[in-house]
Amino acid sequence: MKIVTIVGARPQFIKAAVVCHKLREKHTEILVHTGQHYDYNMSEKFFEELDIPKPDHNLGISGGSHGEMTGKMLIEIEKVLLQEKPDGVLLYGDTNSTLAGALAASKLHIPIIHVEAGLRTHCRSNPEELNRICTDHLSDKLLVCTECGMAYAKKEGLENRSILVGDPMYDAFLKYSGKIERNDIVLLSLEGKKVTIPDQFYYLTCHREENTGNDSSLYEVLYAMNGLDAQTIYPVHPRNKNRVMRLNEKYHFKNIIFSEPVGYLESICLVNNSLKIVTDSGGLQREAFFAKKKCITVLDFKMA
Residue ranges in contact with ligand UDP by CB under 6 A: 10-11, 14, 205, 235, 261-264, 267-268, 281-284, 287
Counting contacts by CB under 6 A, is residue 63 touching ligand UD1? yes
Q: Which residues between 177 and 236 bind ligand UD1 (CB under 6 A)? A: 207
Among ligand UD1, ligand UDP, none, residue 301 binds (CB under 5-8 Å by kind): none
Burial of 266 (0-12, 13-18, 19+ CB in 10 A): buried
- Closest CB 2 distance from ligand UDP, rounded Å: 28
Nearer to ligand UDP, 41 or 226 (CB): 41
Counting contacts by CB under 6 A, is residue 15 touching ligand UD1? no
Nearer to ligand UDP, 34 or 205 (CB): 205
- Closest CB 181 distance from ligand UD1, rounded Å: 25
> Are residues 219 and 251 in contact, defined by beta-carbon separation less than 8 angstroms?
yes
Reduce the DSSP state of residue 113 to 3 states and report it. Answer: strand
Which positions ≥6 away from 144 have C-beta within 8 Å? 117, 118, 150, 153, 162, 163, 164, 165
Q: How far apart are CA 146 and CA 304, in angstroms?
A: 9
Q: How far apart are CA 153 and CA 66, in angstroms?
A: 25
Q: How far apart are CA 73 and CA 80, in angstroms?
A: 11
Counting contacts by CB under 6 A, is residue 239 touching ligand UD1? yes
Look up 137 and say whether it is catalytic. no
Counting contacts by CB under 6 A, is residue 95 touching ligand UD1? yes
**For residue 95, how many other CB atoms are within 10 A of its CB?**
28
Q: How far apart are CA 262 and CA 260, in angstroms?
A: 6
Catalytic residue among 37, 57, 114, 207: 207
Nearer to ligand UD1, 45 or 57 (CB): 45
Interaction site with ligand UD1 (CB under 6 A): 9-11, 36-39, 42, 63, 94-96, 127-128, 207, 238-239
